Amino acid sequence: MKAIIGHIIFNVKDFNESELFYDKLLIAMGFEIDYVSEGDFGKMKSYKQGEHNLYIRFDQNKKSGKFVRNVGLDHLAFELNNENEVDKIYELIKKLNVKITCAPRKYPDYTASYYAFYFRDPNGIPLEVYLQ
């Protein structure tokens, strides 16, 4: 058996603000908009790259059933191919006026070539862009 991560869903507090942010960030990193939908579950938008989907979701009715929605993740990291790409996305993030928690720098304790920056999306979700 070999599993892959099929999708990740971010529950967001403001769909429109999050959509503007993720449209700019994810499209700049090669994702495509897969679909947008709205229904009893709220609003949802999917971004796809290869076999992987990242969704933003706004559930205005808060019908979460047995799901615990208040437990968060540590962070989500996007791996790029070189330092120039990391720096390009950093410049984009600065223009989007979100909280940058750590500017781009090397992390030799991780690997010899690890280069990354950390920031928060408009909902406070922690994200990283890095080179391994």
Query: For the residues of 82-119, what is the DSSP string, one character each?
Result: SHHHHHHHHHHHHHTT--EEEEEEE-TTT-TT-EEEEE
Name the pairing type of β-strands 42-49 and 32-39: antiparallel
| pTM of the model as a whole | 0.84
CA atoms in the 13 A half-sphere facing the CB of 24: 18
Residue 120 to residue 61: CA distance in whole angstroms:
25
CATH placement of domain 73-132: 3.10.180.10
Name the pairing type of β-strands 76-79 and 100-106: unpaired
- Hey, what amino acid is at 110? Y
Residue 123 gets which letter from DSSP? Answer: T
List, for the chain, all residue ranges whose pLDDT scores fall below the cut of 70: 3, 60-72
pLDDT at 71: 47
Residue 83 to residue 103: CA distance in whole angstroms:
13
Q: Where in the chain is the domain with CATH 3.10.180.10?
A: 1-63, 73-132
DSSP SS3 for 15: helix
Q: What tens digit of pLDDT does each residue of 3-30 get?
A: 677 889 898 989 999 999 999 999 999 9
Fold classification of 1-63 (topology level): 2,3-Dihydroxybiphenyl 1,2-Dioxygenase; domain 1 (3.10.180)
Token pair for 83: 């330092």
User: Within 10 Å of residue 6's Cβ, how many Cβ atoms?
Assistant: 8
pLDDT at 77: 94
